[in-house]
Every structure is written in structure tokens, then in C-alpha cells.
Chain A
């Protein structure tokens, strides 16, 4: 089994001196229905791991379990460079689609202040908090949005604001849930460019849930195919996209050879 081989390889690389995030035997059961079963993931810093799967395969559930939002069994540990348990990982999360009230009078600045301080945002924003938000937003080219209402942003703008928010404080693990939905092509390119810059400049692991196989093939180091509650196969994009189970699930036509994937940029 391909899956087994990958697991063995992980164990060998464990002592490579990189920090990593380990998920062991993670299972989720809701309303007596098993949604995820014995998911094992091992993610090194600097890696971008993409999760693919059909609708309802449990991709978003996996992210929510990692976040601690829904109850799960199994372990989630973050190990530092010496392979010691240090602390719970700092997790940055960019939701699939921020489901919020678009009419709400909450500004981008309000959200940043609410995250970074206990000083009530309805009172006022201190200069320090304003500068911190401005800096975060500048890093994703969104500084001009600081006083805009959250509900007035376009899909791409909102996605970048969420990314900026997820990056402060600097996370050990960045969870991106289908960040490509509802974004125009320019916004999409900018988002992926920002994400790949992050990998080069920071020491963080990225888990990306995506439907866009061209982008997955282009950017991901590893791909995990979730099917029927379990990790059905995992490995490099080439390995996974040539796996029979993946081809059966999605059909041949979606999975292009990796060489053509550059076409997504045009």
C-alpha cells in the first residue's frame, strides 16, 4: 500500500531537525455517525499539505477537529526542532467562506482589535493596535482596507484580510479551507503568491483544503486524499494523482499531468 510506505518514510524523517505537527488516530463521531476514522498526519514545517476529497469526505470536519471546535479522539501534538513536546501549536485559520452577517457594522480594524486585545472595540482603538493591524494588512497588500466594513469587502479582499489575521501571531500551523472559492482570478493568484512567500519566509506548516487540482499540483508538497472517512492515499502530487482510487473518484479529466499545471497561472 502506498499509504503504508509514506507512513514509514515519515517516521524516518522524524529526526531531521525540523519542527513538525503530528496528528495521530484522529477520529470524529457526530450524532452516532462516524465522520473521520484514524487519520494520521505528519506535517513538517515549511511543508504545504493539500487535502483533497469529494464533497462530504470530511475535509472541513478534519480542519474543525484540528481547531478543537468539534470533539474528537486521538492526539494532536506540536514538536519543536529537537522533537520535544513544547506546547499546543498556535493555529492560524482561514475559513472556507467566512459565514457572517454581511450587514454587520464591524470594520476590519474592529476584527483585528478584537483578536489582539481585551480593550473593548466599541470604545476606541489604541495607536499600537492600529499599527499592528496596519502592518499585518500590508503584508497581504490589504492595508487600504483597514477602515472598510467587513461585509463590504469582495471575496478576494476578505480572504486576504482573513489570511493577515491568521498570520498574527505567527502560527505554527496554518489551516486554509478552500481559499479559492468566490475569488476572481487576480485575487486567486495574489492569494497563492502570498501563501508561497510565507513558506519561504516563515517556519510554518500549511494545510490546504482545495478543489483546484492544478493549483494543488503546482504548490503542494504533499497531497492527502480523504475518502470514505479515512486517508485513502497520500504522497506527492504525482503519486496521488496517479493513484487508481483518486482517478476513480474524480475521473481522469480533472487530473492533468503536473507538467501542464503551470497553465493555471494564465
Chain B
């Protein structure tokens, strides 16, 4: 860790980069941005933006459950709850009783309501509001190691099973005809998503996590013509908006997560403009 800090001091000899929390946040962004950039490509392909949102919201219930059990750090209860929610949504969705967005909406709002009801029971909801906005500047060096492990896992997944995930996302019947176990890969992807959303929620915040997941990929889609370009653009946009958003938030005194989302949104608008000008 100290050698990494020294490297940052050499590369970035600026006042803002002197603080340890900024160094950690910087490294955190460098780890989170590629994770979100990669994951986002598949979330957008699978039209799961709303599901990502629901996962984020369910974290609130996970925290509430943790509080009831009396956990100091609600991470594990959050993780368990989001995995349970993922499985429940997938099972109900496979039963074809209602459209996917209705099902996700029902589960998501029920989970949020339950979470708010429990957390506000003794009038102490305010101390949990950090989860709503998130705080990138609170990343510790142990958190960084966990993020690094997550990034490695995502990269391993993306190099071993990406093609299968892609075929399943294009058309399930087509994937079945290729002997791909569609349900296995659907669960694999949604559970990966659940774990990553839960891990990142304390830094990124419940309210904006889905935007961070979706925006870089959505922007990349506007200009990409194939999967390679899609990934290069998505990861680049995620990293560039992550770094510039973090630095900008330091000088403006704004919440870092929200600033990053705003810059990603500018990328989206810019690429949308490019797309229209290509088409005309």
C-alpha cells in the first residue's frame, strides 16, 4: 500500500492527492469503474437496468434485517437479502404470471417499504442515510483489497463465460439450440450482479448505483458497432468519468458518487448526439 501511495504522489503532485482518503478514493474508482463498465455492458444488453435499481433498493432491507439481528456491519445481511431477492424475482419471473418490470417493481417497492419501516421504527433513520448517498471517500485499504478481488473475479468471468452470457442475452432459444444451460447462466449473471451491487453500495449509494452501472454502457452503445468497441468505450467512459467526477467533487464540495453520475450523463448525451449525426 505505501508504495502505491508514493506512486500516486509522484504521478499526481497536487494538493488534493496528498490526502490519504483521496488516494484511497482514487484507487477505489480505478477498481470500481472497470467493474461497472464491464458489468454494465451485459446489464444493458439484458435490459436489466431496472433490476439493478431494485437490487440497490433491497440493500436498505438488508441493512434493516442486520439491525434487527444486531449486526455491527450489515454487509452480510445485505448480501443474503439481495441474493434471496434475486432468486425470488427470477423464480416468479420464470412463472410468467406478470411482465418482468411489474414483478421487479412489486418486489423492489415492498423491500424498500419494509426497510424504511424497520429502520424508522425508533426515529433513527438519519444515521442510515449514508447508504442512500454513499461515500467514496470512506474507502479503507481493506476495502480496496476486496474491490481488487471483485475486479479479478469479474475479469475471470468475462474471459471464461462471456460468450455464453452474450448468446443468452441475444436470444434464449438460440442459446438453447447450442446446448447452453440458459437458466444457469442467467442465475450466474444475476447473482454476480447482486454481490457486486451489495459490495459497492456503501461507497456508491443506493440512489445512484444503477445509474453508475448503466450510464457508461448506455453511452458506449450509442457509438459502438461491435462487442469490442462496446467494451472499450464502456470501460473508458466509466474510468474517465469516475476520475474526473472524483476530482471535481473535491473542489466543488459535492458528493462524489453523484458528480461521477453527472459526468457519465454528459458522456451519454454527447454520444447520443454523435449517433444522431452519424445517422443523418
* Contact B227–A110 (Cβ < 8 Å): yes
A115 (CB) vs chain B CBs: closest residue: B178
Return B221 CB to nearest CB of chain A, in Å: 6
Which chain B positions have C-beta within 8 A of A165? 174
A119 to B172, CA, bound (A): 20
A95 to B171, Cβ gap below 8 A?
yes
Query: Please, which residues of chain B bring their CB within 8 A of the CB of A120?
Result: 158-159, 162-163
Q: Does B140 contact A (CB under 8 A)?
A: no
CA distance A68 to B182 in the complex (A): 11
* Known contacts A98-B171, A113-B163; A107/B227 CB under 8 A: yes
Number of interface residues of B (CB under 8 A): 34
A105 engages B229 (CB within 8 Å)? yes
Tell me whether B277 is interfacial, beta carbon within 8 Å: no
Structural contact, A105 and B230, CB atoms closer than 8 A: yes
Contact assessment for B224 and A67 in the assembled complex, using a CB-CB cutoff below 8 Å:
no
Interface string of A229-245 (1 = CB under 8 A from B): 00000000000000000
Number of interface residues of A (CB under 8 A): 39
Q: Across the two chains, which residue of chain A brings its CB closest to B175?
A: A69
Distance in angstroms from B44 CB to nearest chain A CB is 8
Q: Which of A121-129, A178-186, A201-209 contacts B (4 or more CB under 8 A)?
A: A121-129
User: Chain A contacts of B227 at CB under 8 A?
Assistant: 105-107, 110, 121-122
A115-B167 contact given A105-B220, A107-B227, CB 8 Å threshold: yes
Which residues 127-177 in B have Cβ within 8 Å of A in the complex?
158-164, 166-167, 170-174, 176-177
- Nearest chain-A residue to B235 (Cβ)? A122
Chain B proximity mask over A132-155: 1 for CB below 8 Å, otherwise 0: 000000000000000101100000
Is A91 on the interface with B (CB-CB < 8 A)? yes
Interface residues of A (CB under 8 A from B): 31, 64, 67-69, 91-93, 95, 98-101, 103-107, 109-111, 113-115, 117-124, 147, 149-150, 162, 165-166, 175
By Cβ-Cβ distance, the 7 closest A-B pairs, closest first, are: A93-B177, A105-B224, A107-B226, A114-B163, A69-B176, A122-B231, A120-B162
Extra contacts besides A68-B176, A122-B227, A124-B228 (11): CB < 8 Å: A64-B176, A100-B170, A100-B171, A106-B226, A115-B163, A115-B167, A119-B163, A120-B163, A121-B227, A123-B159, A149-B225
30 contacts between A and B (CB under 8 A): A67-B176, A69-B172, A69-B182, A92-B177, A93-B174, A95-B171, A95-B174, A101-B47, A101-B170, A104-B45, A104-B170, A105-B224, A106-B166, A106-B227, A107-B225, A107-B226, A109-B226, A110-B226, A111-B170, A114-B166, A118-B163, A120-B159, A120-B163, A122-B41, A122-B228, A124-B228, A150-B170, A165-B174, A166-B177, A175-B177
